[in-house]
Amino acid sequence: MSSLARLIASGAVQSRTELANRTGLARSTIGVHLDRLEASGLIREAGLAAASGPGRPARCLGLSPEAGLVLVGDLSVHTARVVVADLTQRLLAQQTYPIRIADGPEDVLAGLEQAWRHLLLEIDADPHQVRTVAVGLPGPVDHSTGTPVRPPLMPGWDGYPVGQVLGERFGCPALVDNDVNMMALGEARALPMTQYPLVFIKVSTGIGSGIIGAAGDLHYGADGAAGDIGHIQVPDSDHVACRCGNRGCLEAVASASSMIRALRDPDADLGTPPGEFTTAELEALVARIAQGDTETTRLVKDAATVLGQLVASLVNVLNPARIVLGGALAAASDDMLAGVRSGVYSRALPLATRNLTLSYSVLGPVCGVVGGVVSAIEHVLSPEGLTVLRS
Amino acid sequence: MSSLARLIASGAVQSRTELANRTGLARSTIGVHLDRLEASGLIREAGLAAASGPGRPARCLGLSPEAGLVLVGDLSVHTARVVVADLTQRLLAQQTYPIRIADGPEDVLAGLEQAWRHLLLEIDADPHQVRTVAVGLPGPVDHSTGTPVRPPLMPGWDGYPVGQVLGERFGCPALVDNDVNMMALGEARALPMTQYPLVFIKVSTGIGSGIIGAAGDLHYGADGAAGDIGHIQVPDSDHVACRCGNRGCLEAVASASSMIRALRDPDADLGTPPGEFTTAELEALVARIAQGDTETTRLVKDAATVLGQLVASLVNVLNPARIVLGGALAAASDDMLAGVRSGVYSRALPLATRNLTLSYSVLGPVCGVVGGVVSAIEHVLSPEGLTVLRS
């Protein structure tokens, strides 16, 4: 049934017949669900689709822009990107503002609520029109409960009921997920299914990935921890401490945190984890990479070599059709992508790379919020979302 | 629809109502499919299931033992295990015999056909009763075409149309897959769905894995190469050549091939790949491991350390509910499992290991043929399999 909601949300399906053909579900099953969506005002069937065969012309399926709104927040360690969208995926209002995730959940979520309410005012919308909110966080999340689980970069957030708190404030379901999972979903829905399985890798303050399976579903794993590649041990790095408490993690040697430390002090003690840094320092790092500063370029190339070896292993394990590189560091220059490509093509199995596409995100910085919008809309249109709506 | 065939094949579902509840498919959809299965003589609805509510008692779903047979072959580098089973998964006849996969496809497949025909004679069955054959091979397979793709341990098999050849000999569909994928499927169907995602790791002549997703489907990847962990580069092994042409692969340092070479000649040149060895040598290695021979135990422990680090990475990427260790080397002593456990619990994310089970195969050596039987039966009962049957 999840494929049904996904197809309706995509706006790409014209008729009940097409839905039946593409999901394999009975027309009666589809009919019952569409009738409920129409009764709830979420979709309308207007106009006539071009008849592709005998019989009466099919009615066209359309999502109602007036049927409600979704609120999405994509939170990274230093930045929040928030949007209001309608059910046709149109972004009606958006704002990006600096945060410090380490300020803890009360402060950060109060700021997020304020930002959303401000955007709703801006477009003259009523908070009661909000059908679902979706938030991405830079750490492991138990998405079934909407709760971060021991997130290394988010002091004070462990076990905090983010989903419950936001759901109560807006009186609607609240989806909470890892930020990279949301990015992977956004990217995946912007591409044809021939690009699945898809792995989205974010390289920024931390390093993480989101995995989309052949059928288009996020691979969460047994505990919602799948894709957490930042804490995989990489070769020759046992002397480098990571914020997670382990040593030799990918994130400890190839993230913005490690680069900023190296630029601050080339002789820094690698036996203690890198400390916090400011948004200004991250922006300065990205600027130095973009300018091609020699020392910074060397750091990026070293990081790309380590990342490329690990991505080659990922390719052997998952054999994805597409690997997408995103995040502030990946976007700053071509060195990261070039290094990863080199690692993958020299080390991964030929069979697993013959059809592989390795590229930047087609959506860029809005990838995460688009993923949040898509997951919120797919939830609103699902049988589960409908149940919540009616209770 | 694949979940429908899977549930019917499992024999665990009693009624149409239960099928509708568990698949989310409309009763009409299920009815159409079951009517076709019944018309083809594949299932019978006999007796009455215990009524669980008002209305007329549901009819019981049963697979017909008389409805046909499946032939399965699980081929490793040195051994073929072949079975004949009916659609209720009962193994009617089986045989295990030595092979040399390097003899090439014509010889090995001729032997396989002979073995199957011999077993059919033994149980007095007609080859026309065979509905589907399924074969597992120790290398990468394009399962959509039934063709091995550059398999390092199988000289002469690259691109050979195994599925087509076997299908023509028995006049029925022939499924060809990587042997470890078949094992993963067999193991998964013997366990409850709470044990998904599941990763099956085989440690024998080579090393490979099969991945079962949360919904119970095999994760094939874009080219059918997913799970090929044997050629991932492991630390500190750049001086060890692998049969695949690369250096430092897991398989080059932690498989039976590498151990047999080390026992033959502790000063062997690691810069050339390990050569072939005989079944007798593999059996002698397994016996020495089982006897606790000091030198061999050290080799197993070293291999387990390397494997454990890699499995820790797999746990971070996939967050499986269960990891299963199978194959001749894993089964020979507890050192392999203990070493892998130690690597995983010291390195993988706590969130990803809190519900993880790491164990031996519950099915043991028959895992692969059971997986072949299950996949053949699920194919026979699928809409696709029915189409073939009628053409």
Question: CB within 8 A of B155, min separation 6: which ones?
Answer: B102, B104
Q: What is the pLDDT of residues A144-170, one digit of tens each?
A: 999 999 888 899 999 999 999 999 999
Of the candidate ranges A49-53, A221-225, A364-368, B303-307, the one whose mean pLDDT is the lowest: A49-53
Nearest to A222 among B222, B229, B355 (CB): B355
Q: What is the pLDDT of residues A79-125, one digit of tens each?
A: 999 999 999 899 999 999 999 999 999 999 999 999 999 999 999 99
Asked if omega into B197 is within 30° of 0 (cis), the reply is yes
Same domain, A157 and A103: yes
State pTM to two decimals. 0.90
pLDDT band at B59 (very low <50, low <70, confident <90, very high): low
Q: How far apart are CA A126 and CA A108, in angstroms?
A: 23
Neighbours of B290 (CB within 10 A): 12
Nearest to A317 among B213, B220, B317 (CB): B317
As a whole-number percent, the residues of chain B with pLDDT over 70 amount to 94
Nearest to A25 among B29, B226, B349 (CB): B29
| Beta-bridge mates of residue A202 | A208, A326
Same domain, A243 and A283: yes
Residues in chain B: 391
Residue B285 has pLDDT above 60, yes or no: yes
What average pLDDT does the structure give for chain A? 90
The domain total for chain B is 3
The confidence score (pLDDT) of residue A390 equals: 41
Same domain, B210 and B351: yes
List the single best residue of A232, A237, A315 to mutate versus B (max B Cβ within 10 A). A232
Q: How far apart are CA A381 and CA A375, in angstroms?
A: 10
For tokens 């690692």, name the residue: A343
Same domain, A280 and A324: yes
Spatial CA neighbour of A357 closest among A315, A329, A307, A317: A315
Residue B37 has pLDDT above 90, yes or no: no
Q: What is the pLDDT of residues B114-163, one digit of tens each?
A: 999 999 999 999 999 999 999 999 999 998 999 999 888 899 999 999 99
Mind telling me how many Å the CA of B225 is from chain A's nearest CA? 6
The confidence score (pLDDT) of residue B10 equals: 80
Same domain, B306 and B345: yes
Same domain, A322 and A374: no
Q: Which residue of A has its CA nearest to B312?
A: A232
Same domain, B238 and B344: yes
The confidence score (pLDDT) of residue A82 equals: 98
| Beta-bridge mates of residue A198 | A212, A322
Please tell me whether residue A41 adopts helix, strand or coil conformation: coil
Contact call for B225 and A355, based on CB within 8 A: no
The confidence score (pLDDT) of residue A46 equals: 63
Contact status, residue B167 vs residue B293, Cβ threshold 8 Å: no
Contact call for B319 and A233, based on CB within 8 A: no
Same domain, A229 and A321: yes
Burial B138-161 (b: 16+ CB within 10 A, else e): bbbbbbeebbbbbbbbbeebeebb
Contact status, residue B227 vs residue B244, Cβ threshold 8 Å: no
Same domain, A86 and A23: no
A150 vs A140, A157, A277, CA distance in Å?
A: 7, 8, 20
Helices (H) and strands (E) in chain B, counts: 15, 13
What angle is formed at CA B359 by the lines to CA B353 and CA B364, rounded to 5 degrees? 155
Mind telling me how many Å the CA of A225 is from chain B's nearest CA? 6
Residue B51 has pLDDT above 50, yes or no: no
pLDDT band at B315 (very low <50, low <70, confident <90, very high): very high
> B269 exposed, middle or buried (CB, 10 Å; 0-12, 13-18, 19+)?
exposed
Size of interface A-B (CB pairs under 8 A): 158
Nearest to A313 among B24, B219, B232 (CB): B232
Residue B46 has pLDDT above 90, yes or no: no
List the single best residue of B247, B351, B356 to mutate versus A (max A Cβ within 10 A). B351
Nearest to A309 among B24, B233, B347 (CB): B233
Of the candidate ranges A53-62, A234-243, A251-260, A333-342, the one whose mean pLDDT is the lowest: A53-62
Quick one: DSSP state of residue B325? E
Q: Which residue of B has its CA nearest to A3?
A: B24
Same domain, B41 and B130: no
Same domain, A35 and A153: no
Radius of gyration of chain A (CA): 22
Contact status, residue A387 vs residue A5, Cβ threshold 8 Å: no
Quick one: DSSP state of residue B145? T
Q: What is the pLDDT of residues A21-54, one digit of tens each?
A: 777 777 777 888 888 888 888 887 765 555 445 5
Domain holding A381, by residue range, is 67-184+367-390
A165 vs A112, A145, A173, B13, CA distance in Å?
A: 12, 11, 10, 40
Same domain, B77 and B206: no
CATH code at position A126: 3.30.420.40
Rounded mean pLDDT of B171-178? Answer: 96
Q: How far apart are CA B268 and CA B286, in angstroms?
A: 21
Contact status, residue B266 vs residue B296, Cβ threshold 8 Å: no
Rounded mean pLDDT of B15-43? Answer: 80
Mind telling me how many Å the CA of B164 is from chain A's nearest CA? 21
